[in-house]
Structure 1
Amino acid sequence: MNTKQLDQIRSGKGFIAALDQSGGSTPKALQQYGVQESSYSNDEEMFELVHEMRTRIIKSPAFDSRYIIGAILFENTMDRTIDEQFTADYLWEKKGIVPFLKVDKGLAELEDGVQLMKPIPDLNELLKRAGKRNIFGTKMRSVIKEANAAGIKKVVEQQFSIGKQVLDMGLVPIIEPEVDIYSEDKAASEKILKDEIFAQLSTLSQDEKVMLKLSIPTEDNFYSELMEQPQVIRIVALSGGYTQKEANDKLERNQGLIASFSRALSQGLNVNQTDDEFNAMLSKSIQNIYKASIT
């Protein structure tokens, strides 16, 4: 493990940029950026366009390690290059930003009020490739829709089971059991979730370190006790469908919680903007998210 990267993630000021939209969410990300589905005719063309978008974000002078400590990539992005360097190497060597990789294969159907992750049959091979590509850690996402204790237990058990595989390969897992922000019993789900996370943390040694990526809690500072656990490097928050302003306002009220935003980060960016317009919009977003993350 790169100790300089670990120190940056553990104690650096700033937030983690989520640039990991995958096959299912890529069309929506491109549409938000002003690229319509008529602009591409197959997946390869689609992924080329989204890589151009991500490259423009990463190479922007606004995308700076003074404000952004890490970035999460999609597998396709990891395997592509920026200025003849693999993306993760460019992030760390040129930008000083720690690279992570999304490793899940999407969500299973809703059952017991939750969506588990689909199986990841090639996970060890993917983790080996990630290590060769100088990836620091991984991210995998599940979704909780209802305060169903049995379902939430399954989500957290699955997350930590895969997290242990990631740890065994020398990488740091970001555990992401997202609670749907539109859930009618979101606060109740969060209470069950926190208890289950504590139970799973107790199965780790103090040398086994994980990160948590959670929805911004209904009750301010609800996850403060988790931040104190020796196995938890950092807790980051997803925007979950909130507008950037909504997400920032909620984040500011939670001390120690930092952003790991995707849609809220790219809000307002457009393929037709000049570089000056694009960089100004991105800079404004980054500054606002950074401010909310250091409260």
Structure 2
Amino acid sequence: MPNQDQTDRIARGQGFIAALDQSGGSTPKALKLYGIDEDQYASEAEMFDLIHAMRSRIVEAPAFNGDRVVGAILFEMTMEREIGGKPAPAALWEDHGVVPFLKVDKGLEAEANGVRLMNPMPDLDALLIRARELGVYGTKMRSVIDAANPDGIKAITDQQFEVAEQILGHGLIPIIEPEVTISIADKAEAEEMLLRELLLHLDPLPEDRMVMLKLTLPEVDNLYKPLVDHPRVLKVVALSGGYSREEANARLARQTGMIASFSRALTEGLSAQQSEAEFNATLEASIASIAKASTSG
């Protein structure tokens, strides 16, 4: 069973979930935004050392604690490394009061029917066992909707809930993330279709099954309120999806009951070249603004 103290922190905590789970494909961009260009590392190992140093610097900053950051999503390599001399999941919870989650998807298949499904995850059970051993509370898995295609959106939701059932079987709480691309012309229609499919999958879940949802900030304010209120949903969190932090915060503040789970919007303005004082002040302002938007609705 999931840790009850951690469940309470997610359900009732006044804050947001930090997404610190850039994968191998997105790490070079994240490092570039942090002020580290690709010519500053010579191998993938060096690249992952640098991104881990960035994540550790964020986690160990004074502003990063359970008062406003209720959870954090980790990349697998981060889960297996240490922060402050402890395994990363233990450091998050024991030292900072932040509930640890793990990104488990292995990237996306090619687009079909307007969506990109998750790649197969043949080693998922072994990964989930390892995550439980290290104190991880839940997981996150992302797929992408690029068009308001009913067949595609059904397929993406079917896949997400199928994998979620496997995750629940290991006593972990899955964050289901069917991201709607913010730039598509039919975004509002895709979101309406997604809402219907999610409710169709949530309604039959037994009482002992709880999931979380990570969704693109919608075009229609409070579109996802039925999900926020659903008895099988522990929390609905929002991804920034390419919006600036200012725009993401403004949209989030209009959604009742949703909290943030931002990645790029969280680290916006942070730089490897900043002094500790500058870095900490920038992160403090970022965390304060995202936490405020997460509780405004």
TM-score range, shorter chain: over 0.9
Determine if the alignment matches structure 1 residue 219 to structure 2 residue 244. Answer: no
Q: Taking structure 1 as the reference length, what is the TM-score of the superposition?
A: 0.99
1:34 is paired with a residue of what secondary structure?
A: coil
Q: Where does structure 2 lack aligned partners over 5 or more consecutive residues? A: none
The residue number in structure 2 matching 1:203 is 204
- Aligned-residue RMSD, C-alpha: 0.6
Q: Report the Cα distance in structure 2 between the residues aligned to 1:228 and 1:173, rounded to whole angstroms.
A: 18
Alpha-carbon displacement from aligned partner over 1:17-41 (angstroms, at most 9, x marks no partner): 0000011000000000001111111
Q: C-alpha displacement at 1:203, in angstroms?
A: 3.0
2:54 is paired with a residue of what secondary structure?
A: helix
Q: C-alpha displacement at 1:145, in angstroms?
A: 0.5
The residue number in structure 2 matching 1:110 is 111
Counterpart amino acid of residue 172 in structure 1: I
2:250 is paired with a residue of what secondary structure?
A: helix
Counterpart amino acid of residue 225 in structure 1: P
2:176 is paired with a residue of what secondary structure?
A: strand
Q: Report the Cα distance in structure 2 between the residues aligned to 1:131 and 1:21, rounded to whole angstroms.
A: 21
Q: Where does structure 1 lack aligned partners over 5 or more consecutive residues? A: none
1:22 is paired with a residue of what secondary structure?
A: coil
The residue number in structure 2 matching 1:22 is 23
Q: Report the Cα distance in structure 2 between the residues aligned to 1:217 and 1:249, rounded to whole angstroms.
A: 12
Q: Report the Cα distance in structure 2 between the residues aligned to 1:289 and 1:128, rounded to whole angstroms.
A: 32
The residue number in structure 2 matching 1:38 is 39
2:215 is paired with a residue of what secondary structure?
A: strand
The residue number in structure 2 matching 1:253 is 254
Q: Report the Cα distance in structure 1 between the residues aligned to 2:283 and 2:150, rounded to whole angstroms.
A: 40
Q: Report the Cα distance in structure 2 between the residues aligned to 1:35 and 1:158, rounded to whole angstroms.
A: 36
Q: Report the Cα distance in structure 1 between the residues aligned to 2:215 and 2:122, rounded to whole angstroms.
A: 25
Alpha-carbon displacement from aligned partner over 1:207-266 (angstroms, at most 9, x marks no partner): 100000000010000000111111100000000000000000000111111000000000
The residue number in structure 2 matching 1:126 is 127
1:26-175 aligned at under 5 Å gives the runs 26-175=27-176
Q: Report the Cα distance in structure 1 between the residues aligned to 2:83 and 2:229, rounded to whole angstroms.
A: 38
Q: Report the Cα distance in structure 1 between the residues aligned to 2:66 and 2:228, rounded to whole angstroms.
A: 23
Q: Report the Cα distance in structure 2 between the residues aligned to 1:253 and 1:228, rounded to whole angstroms.
A: 16
Counterpart amino acid of residue 10 in structure 1: A
Q: Report the Cα distance in structure 2 between the residues aligned to 1:41 and 1:157, rounded to whole angstroms.
A: 41
Alpha-carbon displacement from aligned partner over 1:54-88 (angstroms, at most 9, x marks no partner): 00000000112111100000000000001220000
Q: Taking structure 2 as the reference length, what is the TM-score of the superposition?
A: 0.99
Instruction: List structure 1 runs of 4+ shifted beyond 2 angstroms.
Output: none
2:11 is paired with a residue of what secondary structure?
A: helix
- Percent of aligned pairs with the same amino acid: 54
The residue number in structure 2 matching 1:7 is 8
Q: Report the Cα distance in structure 1 between the residues aligned to 2:183 and 2:135, rounded to whole angstroms.
A: 37
Counterpart amino acid of residue 83 in structure 2: I
Counterpart amino acid of residue 291 in structure 2: Y
The residue number in structure 2 matching 1:241 is 242
Q: Report the Cα distance in structure 2 between the residues aligned to 1:153 and 1:109, rounded to whole angstroms.
A: 17
The residue number in structure 2 matching 1:288 is 289
2:154 is paired with a residue of what secondary structure?
A: helix
Q: C-alpha displacement at 1:202, in angstroms?
A: 2.3
1:294 is paired with a residue of what secondary structure?
A: helix
Alpha-carbon displacement from aligned partner over 1:104-155 (angstroms, at most 9, x marks no partner): 0011111100000011110000000000010000000000000000000000
